[in-house]
């Protein structure tokens, strides 16, 4: 899917958010990210992100309210900035350590948003 998903509002199982990303009805899983999406934001309720090996994501924003990092196949991110407040950064680094040497992506954080 290049330009974004569209889901009938009466669908009981899935919906598409304003960015055209396919989610489950509760919005806790990002199921389908459009191929041409370069910026993706995971809201506080997101617990799982399905990242395609062919993605074009340049920035993945994890909202500050996210307590635990969403499960995802982070190894598919190439040349991508992951932006997250510091409070769960250590947990993220531990979970993704096996992929850090394999993947070509960078990370960023905003000190003014950080709350440790």
Element (H, E) at 89: helix 89-100
Query: Residue 30: its pLDDT value, please?
Result: 97
The 3-state DSSP class for residue 59 equals strand
At residue 41, the pLDDT reads 94
Q: How far apart are CA 52 and CA 57, in angstroms?
A: 10
Which one has a higher pLDDT value, 104 or 30? 30
Q: Which tokens hold the place of 79?
A: 């040349």
Nearest residue to 74 via CA among 45, 43, 107, 44: 107
What confidence category does residue 49 fall into, taking pLDDT thresholds of 50, 70 and 90? very high
pTM here?
0.73
pLDDT at 100: 56
Distance, CA of 99 to CA of 15 (rounded, Å): 31
């Amino acid at each position: 899917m290049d330009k974004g998903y569209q889901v009938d509002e009466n669908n009981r199982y899935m919906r598409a958010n304003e960015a055209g990303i396919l989610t489950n009805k509760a919005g806790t899983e990002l199921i389908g990210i459009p191929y041409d999406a370069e910026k993706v934001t995971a809201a506080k309720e997101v617990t799982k992100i399905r990242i395609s090996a062919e993605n074009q994501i340049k920035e993945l924003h994890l909202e500050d309210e996210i307590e635990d990092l969403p499960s995802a196949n982070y190894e598919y991110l190439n040349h991508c900035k992951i932006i997250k407040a510091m409070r769960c950064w250590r947990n993220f680094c531990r979970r993704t350590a096996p992929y850090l040497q394999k993947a070509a992506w960078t990370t960023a954080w905003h000190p003014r948003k950080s709350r440790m």
